[in-house]
């Protein structure tokens, strides 16, 4: 800011020159003292310079009609790629919900394209009014046991970690690496400390001395709490807890019971992974706040958890509250029950009105992140198992999240030892096919709780290394789905009877569509409907997103990578045979 700009700012605050915008007759939600006061808010050069029971003159005057004016909502942790749409298109659908900033970890695209993917995301974020604060992906790949499209060590991160749009290291999923003092892990921690950057956390099932060791590396928060005991232990030890409510992982109702006046300022709200279907039908952070109130939380406390708490935790001191000098990121609400956003301002600019995003969208060039599906020597024979026993370890899907359970079952085999599908048993074959560097690796396993009775599903989204994951009733059906996906260069495919019955291209790194959110939602609705009605997948299971998390080895208890079946508790590969 120049001296003349500062003089003008002060002069406007003193009432000597006109404000750019004055929002009059509003009820101001104060997240500092928990009060709601009637008055007006004056904005100059994108900043709040006046508020309360004062009068300002402005170039524009807006009468709020007595509605509630709150700080713009902030999502404390989200993966844009998991919405299956680009940053520009995500902004288009979440800004009208009142979300003005997001803390985004682009580790999905980094696992496919490395720093090239991160540069694309930085470019795309400049083309939306949504303020995107990125993390440097900390674990690419998530563990040493996966085959990603890139490897990011500390030396690779140094180039971009100092960027002002990067707050620090994203969720550090390799908790064992920190706890056991892995040299390469410690290099990343020390690099973040050198740049004065934060480190976000990810530590399911870690407690006691192990949690102490993990947090001692400087972890700011954790979104992987699933129980009140985990939440309370983390808060007591000084870290923030991010309560997650997304499309697949839904922890809010269980954890909101533990929020008290004493601990609420250490709790943040986040979505983690949220699809356009959920956003367009339910909402974004507005719906999470609404759920908090429905569960009995005070409305202002709920707003704090999606505004000032997030801003303070991630050092975003210029937002998160209606305060003098802050960015004029504001949302006008009809009430503090449904939290429907009537109007949204970002930096003092009206960017959404009655649910409609107003700015024009000019998409970023995606040529640098296309053509990411490269598969070697894949054939139907690569899907055959050679089981030496019918007693097997099985990945059991647990409804309502991405956690799986390891179970032991008896299955049928043919003369060569290959698995035989039996719809009455609800166990199907699942495969992960490496798609980045043409290693030819194919991991095979068995999946329970998916409910599929016919055909197959294949997706080029498979957290976090994002190889191809496919599940189906026979080798032939799985091969057909994977083959169609390879030819499409990434996306989602449903097959029934050897025919493709639904597909959605994802040309951006095999992770994101270049279509808008509404268009993608309609395509997903069709795909989901056919997955349930034609393939018989359980209606209790989100047929795509649930499958995409069955390859994530940093989530308990058992997952499948391109290298084989991985047991989280022992942190090693195990045979299919039990």
Give tens-digit pLDDT for 134-169.
999 999 987 788 899 999 999 999 989 998 889 999
Q: What percent of the chain has pLDDT over 70?
A: 100
What percent of the chain is modeled with pLDDT above 90? 92
Beta 19-29 vs 58-63: how paired, if at all? parallel
- The CA distance from 476 to 481, in Å, is 9
The span from the CA of 239 to the CA of 388, in Å, is 47
- Cα–Cα distance for residue pair 299/253, rounded to 1 Å: 16
Give Cα 437 distance to the centre of its chain.
Answer: 26
Answer yes or no: are the C-beta atoms of 140 and 107 closer than 8 Å: yes
Quickly count: other Cβ atoms within 10 Å of residue 347's Cβ. 18
What does the alpha-carbon distance between residue 478 and residue 292 come to, in Å, rounded to a whole number?
42
> Tell me, what's the pLDDT at 159?
87
| pLDDT at position 248 over 80 | no
Eight-class DSSP state of 82: G
Please state, in angstroms and rounded to a whole number, the distance separating the CA atoms of residues 552 and 566.
Answer: 9
Domains of the chain: 3-66 (2.30.40.10), 72-322+360-368 (3.20.20.140), 370-574 (no CATH)
The distance from CA 239 to its chain's CA centroid, rounded to whole angstroms, is 20
Residue 372 and residue 436 in contact, taking contact as beta carbons nearer than 8 Å: yes
> 36-44 and 564-567: which strand pairing?
unpaired
Here the tokens at position 33 are 């003292």
Mean pLDDT of all residues in the chain?
A: 96
Q: In what order do the strands lie in the sheet with 427-433?
A: 404-410, 391-397, 442-448, 427-433, 468-472, 456-459, 491-496, 499-505
Residue predicted with more confidence, 322 or 554: 322
pLDDT in tens, 523-561: 999 999 999 999 999 998 989 989 999 999 888 899 999
pLDDT at 202 over 80: yes
Helical packing angle, 154-161 and 115-125, nearest 10°: 20
Region 277-295: mean pLDDT is: 96
Helix boundaries (H) for 126-173: 154-161
DSSP state of 50: E
For every residue of 308-363, DSSP letters joined together read HHHHHHTT-TTSSS--TTSB--EEEES-TTT--EEEEEETTEEEEETTEE-S---P
Q: Residue 498 is encoded by which pair of tokens?
A: 């050897």
> Distance between CA atoms of 280 and 488, rounded to whole angstroms?
27
CB 102 within 8 A of CB 131: yes
What is the pLDDT averaged over residues 206-220?
A: 97
DSSP symbol at 368? G
What's the rounded Cα separation, in Å, for the pair 34 and 538? 44
Higher-pLDDT residue of 311, 570: 311
Question: By C-alpha distance, which of 467, 450, 469 is closest to 458?
Answer: 469
pLDDT at 519 over 80: yes
482: nearest Cα among 376, 361, 574, 378: 378
Q: Given the structure tokens 């019971």, which residue do they identify?
A: 257
Non-local (6+) Cβ contacts of 306 within 8 A are: 73, 74, 75, 76, 268, 269, 285, 288, 289
- C-alpha distances (whole Å) from 310 to each of 242, 307, 485 are 9, 6, 39
Whether the per-residue pLDDT at 401 is higher than 80: the answer is no
Alpha carbons 529 and 534: distance in angstroms, whole number:
8
Beta carbons within 10 angstroms of residue 278's beta carbon: 21
């Amino acid at each position: 800011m120049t001296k003349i700009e500062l003089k003008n700012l002060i002069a406007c605050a003193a009432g000597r020159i006109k404000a750019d915008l004055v929002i009059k007759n509003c009820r101001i939600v104060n997240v500092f003292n928990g009060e709601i006061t009637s008055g007006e808010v004056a904005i100059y050069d994108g900043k709040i310079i006046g508020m309360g029971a004062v009068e300002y003159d402005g170039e524009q005057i807006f009468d709020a009609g007595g509605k509630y004016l709150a700080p713009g909502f902030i999502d404390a942790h989200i993966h844009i790629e998991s919405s299956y749409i680009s940053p520009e298109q995500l902004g288009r659908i979440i800004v009208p919900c009142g979300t003005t900033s997001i803390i985004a970890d682009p580790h999905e695209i980094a696992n496919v394209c490395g720093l090239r993917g991160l540069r694309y995301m930085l470019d795309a974020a400049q083309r939306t009014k949504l303020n995107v604060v990125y993390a440097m992906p900390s674990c690419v790949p998530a563990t040493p046991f996966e085959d990603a499209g890139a490897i990011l060590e500390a030396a690779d991160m140094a180039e971009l970690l100092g960027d002002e749009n990067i707050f620090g290291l994203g969720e550090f999923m390799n908790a064992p690496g920190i706890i056991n003092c892995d040299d390469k892990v410690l290099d990343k921690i020390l690099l973040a400390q050198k740049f004065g950057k934060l480190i976000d956390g990810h530590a399911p099932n870690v407690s006691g001395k192990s949690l102490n060791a993990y947090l001692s590396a400087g972890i700011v928060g954790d979104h992987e709490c699933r129980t009140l005991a985990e939440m309370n232990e983390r808060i007591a030890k000084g870290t923030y807890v991010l309560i997650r409510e997304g499309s697949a992982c839904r922890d809010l109702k269980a954890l909101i019971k533990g929020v008290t006046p004493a601990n609420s300022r250490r709790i943040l709200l986040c979505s983690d992974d949220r699809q356009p279907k959920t956003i367009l039908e339910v909402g974004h952070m507005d719906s999470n706040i609404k759920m908090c109130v429905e569960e009995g939380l005070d409305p202002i406390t709920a707003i704090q958890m999606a505004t000032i708490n997030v801003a303070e935790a991630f050092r975003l001191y210029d937002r998160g509250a209606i305060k003098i000098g802050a960015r004029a990121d504001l949302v006008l609400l009809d009430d503090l029950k449904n939290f429907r956003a009537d109007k949204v301002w970002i930096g003092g600019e009206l960017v959404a009105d009655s649910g409609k995003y107003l700015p024009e969208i000019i998409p970023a060039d995606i040529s640098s992140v296309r053509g990411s599906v490269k598969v070697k020597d894949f054939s139907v024979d690569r899907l055959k198992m050679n089981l030496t026993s019918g007693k097997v370890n099985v990945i059991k899907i647990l409804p309502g999240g991405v956690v799986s359970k390891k179970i032991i079952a008896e299955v049928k085999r043919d003369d060569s030892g290959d698995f035989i599908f039996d719809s009455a048993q609800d166990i199907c074959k699942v495969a992960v096919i490496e798609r980045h560097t043409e290693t030819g690796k194919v991991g095979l396993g068995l999946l329970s709780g998916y409910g599929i009775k016919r055909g197959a599903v294949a997706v080029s989204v498979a957290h976090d290394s994002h190889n191809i994951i496919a599940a189906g009733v026979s080798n032939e059906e799985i091969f057909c789905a994977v083959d169609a996906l390879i030819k499409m260069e990434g996306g989602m495919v449903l097959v029934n009877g050897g025919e493709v019955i639904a597909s959605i291209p994802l040309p951006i790194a095999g992770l994101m569509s270049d279509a808008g959110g509404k268009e993608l939602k309609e395509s997903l609705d069709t795909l989901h409907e056919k997955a349930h009605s034609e393939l018989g997948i359980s209606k209790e299971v989100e047929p795509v997103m649930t499958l995409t998390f069955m390859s994530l080895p940093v989530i308990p208890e058992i997952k499948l990578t391109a290298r084989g079946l991985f047991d989280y508790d022992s942190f090693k590969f195990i045979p299919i045979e039990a």
